[in-house]
Amino acid sequence: MSLVHSSNALQADPAEAAACLADAASSVSSAPTLALRGERTVVLDLRHAGRRELTLRYEVQGAAHLPALFVCGGISATRHVAASEAFPEPGWWTEQVGPGRALDPACCRIVSFDWLGADGTLDAPLDPADQADAIALLLTALGIERIAAFVGCSYGAMVGLQFAALHGERVDRLVAISGFHRAHPYASAWRALQRRAVELGALQCGEAHGLGLARQFAILSYRTPDEFDARFPPARVVDGRVRVGAEDYLDHCAARFIGRSSPTAYLRLSESIDLQSVDPAAVRVPTTVVAIEEDRLVPLADAFALVERLAGESHLRVLRSPYGHDAFLKEDADIAAILHAALQSPIRNAC
């Protein structure tokens, strides 16, 4: 095992990141990227809820002959990672996926899916290992025997570790960003309060309000005090009450989230994070672990513990960011440089 750690951060050299992106851009084909969506019905033995018939909804970008990557994000991320000609709406990771970007559909076949439980119809405990098993079934259904890499962020990184532990023969390498082998008790406490907000809203016949409040609590756990200090003004009196500087932003976050997730989906996927438990020694594939020093949900100490116990070749990259847990969505150049370094072959060779 080798440990590569930058003491403060992999403060990615802007020139290096720009060179990586320019190199990828020079190889982009002018032909439209092949993209398709579909569904597969599977039967899966869930660890806490027995055998279920489930529908897996997936999206693929890139030609079938290219190296396959499975890409997934947090519990609110969907199968739509980035825009394509067929599906032009913005995806959840547009900054990293697309022509000339770190994950280029001209160089690799990008596969993703909607999480089990994301549609709100599965009201049962979901283990992250269940998600990993579902991904294995989906890959089989798509005729993909082995993927060149699993790239996961947040909950997706947790599932990636499960996939590498349970189905290691089907993946060449893993990139786990801001998600590790366990759920930290402090982070679990945050999520437990969020779930209580959802349940309280339902009891008061205000499901949308409860879900919005839970999202606002979540945003506070994702970001950092430093960001809020730099971004928001002091409190002021409005219509006879005190309104703090961040309230408008938090209201905006809640309004955007309501309607995109059902209370049942939110509760079950939030619970699933807290069920994360994987033995790092069971992960034998080469793994790049990415941690954010300011992340209050996924502490840096857990990143060190994970990397020290992984059975395969491992590398740790540490970033510093005022965006905390959300850095994988915000620190575009640094994340791109890490992805290029972790996936430089065979992905780059396919271009």
Contact between 321 and 292 under an 8 Å Cβ cutoff? The reply is yes
**CA 114 from centre of chain:** 12
| Predicted local confidence at residue 168, as pLDDT | 98
DSSP state of 301: H
State how far the Cα of 351 lies from the Cα of 344, in Å rounded to an integer.
Answer: 11
The torsion of the CA quartet 275, 259, 139, 61, rounded to 10 degrees, works out to -140
| Predicted local confidence at residue 345, as pLDDT | 63
DSSP-derived pairing of the beta strands 149-153 and 109-113: unpaired
DSSP 3-state of 246:
coil
**Is 270 assigned a catalytic role?**
no
Contact between 319 and 7 under an 8 Å Cβ cutoff? The reply is no
**CA 142 from centre of chain:** 22
State how far the Cα of 314 lies from the Cα of 286, in Å rounded to an integer.
Answer: 6
Contact between 273 and 129 under an 8 Å Cβ cutoff? The reply is no
| Predicted local confidence at residue 47, as pLDDT | 97
Helices (H), 145-262: 155-166, 185-203, 207-222, 225-231, 247-257
| Predicted local confidence at residue 6, as pLDDT | 34
pLDDT in tens, 29-75: 445 678 999 999 999 999 999 999 999 999 999 999 999 999 999 99
The one catalytic residue among 112, 154, 314, 321: 154
Q: Is residue 236 packed enough to be buried (19+ CB in 10 Å), middle (13-18) or exposed (0-12)?
A: exposed
Amino acid found at 225: P
Q: Which helix (H) or strand (E) holds 71?
A: strand 68-72
Please give the domain boundaries of the chain with CATH numbers for all domains. 14-183+277-350 (3.40.50.1820), 196-272 (1.10.1740.110)
Backbone angles phi, psi at 295, to 5 degrees: -70, 115
Low-confidence ranges of the chain (pLDDT < 70): 1-32, 345-349, 351
**Is 325 assigned a catalytic role?**
yes
DSSP 3-state of 62:
coil
| Predicted local confidence at residue 205, as pLDDT | 81
The one catalytic residue among 274, 295, 326, 332: 295
